[in-house]
């Protein structure tokens, strides 16, 4: 079980490299410019779903970007306390940016 924190926009090489390494029992947290992948109609979201990983988005970043009103229900919005809890639940954490 690995927690992947993804801070790169859909279409970037960091985004693609992250998705290539995510396994079904991993956690994935979208933050910064990765929050656009949580848009309900985003083609990138289908790729995230296909990984089978649990999908989260940092709520403050999603609200800043204006993503929240059009966000997919498959992605769980979390605050910083929940981010800390996620970190505790996963033995390893990889940052992609």
Partner 1 sequence: MASDTPKASGQAEPPRLLLVTRSPPYGSSLARSALDTALAAAAFDMAPALLFLDHGVLQLLPQQEGAASETRSHGKVLDSLPLYDIDRIYVDAAALLHFGLQDMPLPAAAEVVDSTGIRALLEGCDHILSF
Please give the residue ranges that form the binding site for partner 1 (CB under 8 A). 7, 9-11, 32-33, 36, 39-45, 59-61, 63-70
Closest approach, Cβ 46 to partner 1, in A, equals 9
- Which residue's CB is nearer to partner 1, number 6 or number 26? 6
Instruction: Give the residue with the Cβ less far from partner 1, 26 or 34.
Output: 34
Distance CA 78, CA 56 (A): 7
**Angle subtended at Cα 70 by Cα 69 and Cα 75, rounded to the nearest 5 degrees:** 100
Return d(Cα 79, Cα 97) in angstroms, integer.
20
């Amino acid at each position: 079980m690995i927690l992947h924190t993804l801070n790169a926009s859909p279409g970037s090489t960091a985004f693609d490299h992250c998705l290539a390494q995510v396994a079904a029992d991993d956690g994935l947290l979208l933050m910064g410019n990765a929050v656009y992948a949580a848009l309900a109609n985003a083609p990138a979201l289908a790729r995230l779903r296909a990984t089978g990983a649990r999908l989260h988005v940092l709520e403050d970043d999603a609200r800043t970007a204006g993503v929240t009103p059009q966000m997919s229900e498959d992605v769980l919005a979390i605050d910083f306390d929940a981010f800390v809890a996620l970190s505790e639940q996963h033995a390893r954490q990889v940052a992609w940016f």
